[in-house]
Chain A
């Protein structure tokens, strides 16, 4: 069983479209995250979310929004996609004292 699973693995879409990336964790972790990895491999936090609090990195455009239907899911919605949104997006989850687990990533290409 995959601990943190993301879908789709690859996503190619045109500028201006709206898309979603799904993430599910079966670890029972309380907190989930979205990270963006750019072409230079730099990993940057976008959101942190548990059932009490959403923390947003202030540099993330408001076209990006996390949606959490329940504790095990944190989906990423992106509106009006731009070329600069092309990157690999990683979902992760954590629980204090048990560490962090990352998904395998979604490569988004905006054309």
Chain B
């Protein structure tokens, strides 16, 4: 079946550097994408979302890029801080409000 693909690698960055986390998806019907942050012992927390009619969306220190041609999604975190250390997931759904399909997650480790 189609799925959002992202194994669980670890990305280690120095505090203050920019981080880029990538995600590939395979469902061409995906219309709505979300990035989540999950800290140890907590549930996924919403970071930023984007709809398929956009290529880029910016939040506070975060930017999501969507490339529908190659079915690729990325999360950029500017000036990464120790508090950004967590597991990050991309998720997608054909319709906002419906079930989410999650990728496998990336662990971000920020070195002080």
Contacts and interface: CB of A to CB of B under 8 A. Distances in A.
Question: Secondary structure at chain A's binding surface: helix, strand, loop or mixed?
Answer: strand
A103 interface: yes
Interface stretch (B21-29, B44-52, B60-68, B70-78): B44-52
Interface string A1-44: 00010000000000000000000000000110101000011111
Question: Secondary structure at chain B's binding surface: helix, strand, loop or mixed?
Answer: loop
A99 B46 contact: yes
A70 interface: no
Scoring A42, A90, A99, A100 by chain B CB atoms within 10 A of each residue's CB, the highest score goes to A100
A40 B36 CA distance: 16
Contacts of B36: 102
Interface residues of B, number: 24
B81 interface: no
Interface string A39-81: 0111111001000000100000000000000000000000000
A102 B45 contact: yes
A43 B97 contact: no
Nearest to B102: A43
A8 to B, nearest CB: 14
B89 A43 contact: yes
Contacts of B101: 45
B100 A104 contact: no
Interface in A76-109: 90, 92, 94-97, 99-105
Nearest to A44: B102
Contacts of B105: 41-43
Question: Ordered nearest first, which 4 A-B pairs have the shortest CB separation?
Answer: A96-B97, A102-B43, A43-B102, A48-B99
Given A4-B43, A42-B105, 5 more contacts: A40-B104, A42-B102, A97-B96, A101-B46, A104-B41
12 contacts: A33-B99, A35-B102, A40-B104, A41-B104, A41-B105, A42-B8, A45-B100, A90-B43, A94-B97, A95-B97, A104-B42, A105-B43
